[in-house]
A = this chain, B = another copy of it.
Amino acid sequence: MTDIAPTAFLPSLETDLLAVDTLRFLAADMVEAAQSGHPGMPMGAAPMAWTLWSRHLRHDPADPEWADRDRFVLSAGHGSALLYGLLHLFGYDLPIEELRRFRQLGSRTPGHPEFGVTPGVECTTGPLGQGLAMAVGMALAERMTAARYPEITGHRTYAIVGDGCLMEGVSHEVASFAGHLGLGGLIVLWDDNEITIDGAVGRSCGDDQVARFAAYGWHTDVVADGTDIEAIDAALTRAGSDPRPSFLAVRTVIGHGAPGVAGTSKVHGSPLGAERLAQAKQRAGWSLPPFAVPAEVAATCAVLAAIGGAEHAKWRNGFEAFGAAEPKRAAEFGRAGARLLPAGALAALGAVAAASPRATRQSSQACLDALRSAMPELVGGSADLAGSTGTVGGEVVRRDDFTTSAIAFGIREFGMAAILNGMSLHGGFRVFGATFLVFADYLRPALRLSALMGQPVIYVLTHDSVAVGEDGPTHQPVEQVESLRMIPGVRVLRPADDAETALAWQLALTRVDGPTALILSRQSLPQLDMACDGDGARIAGSDAATHHHSPAARALGAPAARALGAPVGARESRAGGTRRIDIVATGSEVALAVAVRNQLWADGYDVRVVSALDRARFTPDPSAHTISIEAGSTAGWAGSVDLAIGIDEFGHSGPGDEVLAHFGFTEAAVRERIRAYLDGAP
């Protein structure tokens, strides 16, 4: 199915031009009604968008979820009005009333395209460069799907990018990656309007973009007149038959047709104003009222949509034949597409256990090794740290072999994360990406989008504290764990040993509505013997059971959160005795907490250790002194515990245990701090 038929219906040039003006004025009307938005980009890019949608894009507006549809990404997301116009014209569930409510609270037409809000919007764009990056991820997912299911796969990924997208660093990372893998089927149109918000592109950039993409190994082409529909069409056709990813530079005029401001930054992000808009319509011979769609355009779009529906039906027939011939593979395709875990996956995780100490990054490698055969849709890799992060996965994907499941993302953290978003949005895969925790800062903008789009991307972040040691403060995270916990919708799990690492992987895999960050140690940690409640908190100590649940024994789905009591503030002493001490720790500090507890037991204290695998699920017990130990920022602990032992300054280069000792992370120093606290406590 690699042979994609172009749409079989060619509107007249007259209709084409009418449709282009329809898109232009719908966008301008939307911005005018909202008195907010970006008319310039839609007015300049309407011809390329129309040519693409009317002559090349293979989609079924009646079913935006069709697995083998072409993907379209408006990377220049500020041009959202253009996308909403297209979706409306082609019959997606986006009635004209929604266009009238552009940028209003609760509408399906937000200021920038948002995945999940508007049918047909493939991803959330607006943070520049990331749309292009997600398109690369979608194109990679297509190739990997085609390698597994060639009978039912063969679609393309299109993106329209602006100058901003191309200036952003992430464009380099992902264009280089796409060129390396030869992602044919990825076709990028550059809206080359020579204008940015502040003025001419030439004020800040002189790149030869075509030469640049050629240096990445892309097919490149230039359309000198971005209103020339036949030229755009021809370039798209040539691109479609090239085995490389394609970069088409399409020369446009921002705000095309807006008198006095076309071709200037004035038309980038402000309404035209009633008078100028009226003049533009007059010039274009446009006499319809605002938000009107000419009948001829509507009829044409209906035909094109029907053709898309027919293509889809044809594909569905093919899929049914495939299902009849290959029921197991077809079921697998459906299961992975629905993000259902295979039966054996969690059982495989349950088998992960070592008796001897090891780093949780190694525990995580064991989880991945166990999952690999059980869960073929689990794919991913690292930003050139496979060995270090415990994400070695056999042969990596190559331009001549997309059947393997390991991806060498290169030294491109941000690109990796944005590509993972694109792969997750494409569907059919569960994806993970790895780097050192400190470099989560490099990929943070994409992780935020994972959360905003509700994509279950799994971030494997290792070398999780100053215990990294000799590489020094640039490689030692301090504030990173806490700063990840702060992004809405991100689940942060910091496991203490094999059992918790397997549980963390289980929690990550069973989550389908958002990203999970696994925070893993570089250094070796002992295997602990602790009771486990299956949802992110374990208890060890005087009043905890000592048996150990294997994660696989747990039911799939989220058990109730653990509620340990009311918030700090309403404390009372235990009747007739010393108040209990709860030491809450995460990851590598749990073993330290256990060691300190043993000493405090010897000192006669009533102490319990809680492992807060998921800190968000931890609530202090008001009847206890609560002391936290985490080798990182105390900002998230300080207010809610009585004593927060952490690190609020940058680290130092030196052997890991010496650096930990420098910051007081030894049994003796922690015990002393706790005793000193207790001496002064009420």
Binding site for B on A (CB under 8 A): 34, 36-37, 77, 103-107, 110-112, 114, 124-128, 163-164, 167-173, 176-177, 179-180, 196-198, 203-209, 211-212, 214-217, 382, 384-388, 396, 408-412, 414-415, 438-439, 441-442, 444-445, 448-449, 451-452, 469-475, 478-479, 482-483, 485-489, 568-570, 633, 635-640, 648-650, 652-655, 658-659, 662, 682
Contact A214 B217 (CB under 8 A): no
Which residues does chain B contribute within 8 Å of A111, judged by CB atoms?
469-472, 475, 653
CB neighbours of A438 from chain B (8 A): 127
Given contacts A203-B396, A411-B164, contact A652 B452 (CB under 8 A): no
Q: Which residues of B contact A207 (CB under 8 A)?
A: 176, 179-180, 215-217
User: B408 near A203 (CB under 8 angstroms)?
Assistant: yes
Complex A-B: 8 CB contacts under 8 Å: A103-B470, A105-B653, A111-B470, A114-B473, A124-B474, A126-B475, A638-B639, A639-B640
Q: Which of B196, B216, B441 contacts A410 (CB 8 A)?
A: B196
- Once the chains bind, are B441 and A409 in contact (CB under 8 Å)? no
Q: What's the Cα separation between A183 and B386 when bound, in Å?
A: 37
Beyond A103-B653, A105-B653, 7 additional pairs, beta carbon < 8 A: A105-B654, A168-B442, A169-B169, A176-B205, A180-B205, A483-B486, A638-B639
Secondary structure of the A side of the interface?
A: loop
- Report yes or no: A410 in contact with B204, Cβ–Cβ below 8 A: yes
Q: Using Cβ atoms and an 8 Å threshold, which residues of chain B touch A171? A: 169, 172
The distance in angstroms between the C-alpha atoms of A279 and B396, with both chains bound, is 34
Contact for A636 among B77, B635, B655, CB less than 8 A: B635
Q: Is the CB of B169 within 8 A of A412?
A: yes
CA distance A676 to B208 in the complex (A): 61
Contacts of A384 in B (CB 8 A): 164, 167, 196-198, 204
Contact, CB under 8 Å: B204 / A177: yes
Report the 7 A-B pairs with minimum CB-CB distance, sorted nearest first: A639-B639, A169-B169, A105-B654, A172-B172, A110-B653, A204-B410, A126-B474
Residues of B within 8 A of A396 (CB): 203
Is the Cβ of A470 less than 8 Å from the Cβ of B34? yes
Q: Within 8 Å CB of A196, what residues of B?
A: 384, 410-411
| Chain B residue contacts of A650, Cβ below 8 A | 451-452, 488-489
Q: Is B197 in contact with A388, judged by CB distance below 8 angstroms?
A: yes
Q: Which residue of B has the minimal Cβ distance to A77?
A: B474
Q: Are A169 and B163 in contact (CB under 8 A)?
A: no
Tell me which residues across on chain B come within 8 A of A662, comparing CB atoms.
Answer: 105
CB distance from A425 to the nearest CB of B (A): 15
CB pair B482–A654 under 8 Å, yes or no, is no
Given contacts A169-B168, A214-B211, A445-B442, is CB(A411)–CB(B128) below 8 Å?
yes
Residue of B nearest to A479 (CB): B486
Q: Which of B104, B107, B198, B216 contacts A212 (CB 8 A)?
A: B216
What is the CA–CA distance of A376 and B167 in the complex, to the nearest angstrom?
Answer: 29
- Whole-angstrom distance between the Cβ of A355 and the nearest chain B Cβ: 27
Contact residues in B for A412 (Cβ distance below 8 Å): 167-169, 204
- Establish whether residues A472 and B110, one from each chain, have CB atoms under 8 Å apart when the complex forms: yes
Which of B124, B408, B568 is within 8 Å of A204, CB to CB? B408
CB contacts (< 8 Å) of A486 on chain B: these are 479, 482-483, 486, 633, 635
Closest to A385 in B: B197
Residue of B nearest to A474 (CB): B126
Given the known A-B contacts A198-B385, A654-B103, are A126 and B167 also in contact in the complex, defined by CB atoms under 8 Å? Answer: no
Residues of B within 8 A of A387 (CB): 197-198
Q: Are B439 and A127 in contact (CB under 8 A)?
A: yes
CA gap between A569 and B106 in the complex, in Å: 42
A36 in contact with B469 given A171-B172, A212-B216, A640-B638 (CB within 8 Å):
yes
Are the C-beta atoms of B411 and A168 separated by less than 8 Å?
yes
Cβ–Cβ contact B163 & A167, under 8 A: no
Residues on B with C-beta less than 8 A from A128 are 411
Among A103, A396, A449, A486: residue with most chain B CB under 10 A: A486
- Tell me, in angstroms, the Cα distance from A399 to B106 when the chains sit together: 47
When distances are taken between beta carbons in the complex, the residues of chain B under 8 Å from A473 are: 110, 114, 452
Docked Cα-Cα span, A658 to B101, in Å, equals 14
Assembled-state Cα–Cα distance A658/B104 (Å): 9
A565 to chain B, nearest CB (A): 16
Contact across chains for B640 and A488 when beta carbons are under 8 A apart: no
CA A211 – CA B212 in complex, angstroms? 7
Residues of B within 8 A of A168 (CB): 169, 173, 411-412, 442
Kindly name the residue among A103, A474, A478 whose own CB sees the greatest number of chain B CB atoms within 10 A: A474
A128 to chain B, nearest CB (A): 6
B470 A36 Cβ-Cβ under 8 A: yes
Q: How far is the CA of A163 from the CA of B48 in the complex (A)?
A: 36
Nearest-neighbour CB distance to chain B for A547, whole angstroms, equals: 34
Residue of A106, A216, A442 most packed against chain B (CB within 10 A): A442
**CB pair B445 A441 closer than 8 Å:** yes
Q: How far in angstroms is the closest Cβ of chain B from A617?
A: 15
> Which of B449, B478, B489, B655 is the one whose CB lies under 8 Å from A105?
B655
Residues of B within 8 A of A410 (CB): 167, 196, 204-205
What is the bound-complex CA distance between A475 and B127, given in angstroms? 8
Which residue of B is nearest A636, CB measured? B635
Among A37, A409, A410, residue most surrounded by chain B Cβ atoms (within 10 Å): A410
A487 to chain B, nearest CB (A): 5
Residues of B within 8 A of A114 (CB): 472-474, 653
Q: Tell me which residues across on chain B come within 8 A of A177, comparing CB atoms.
A: 204-205
For residue A103, which residue of chain B has the nearest CB?
B470
Contacting residues, chain B, for A636 (C-beta < 8 A): 635
Query: Closest residue to A217 on the B side, CB-wise?
Result: B206
Among residues of B, the one whose C-beta sits closest to the C-beta of A412 is: B167
Q: Which residue of B lies closest to A36 (CB)?
A: B470
CA distance A487 to B648 in the complex (A): 8
Residue of chain B at shortest CB distance from A203: B408
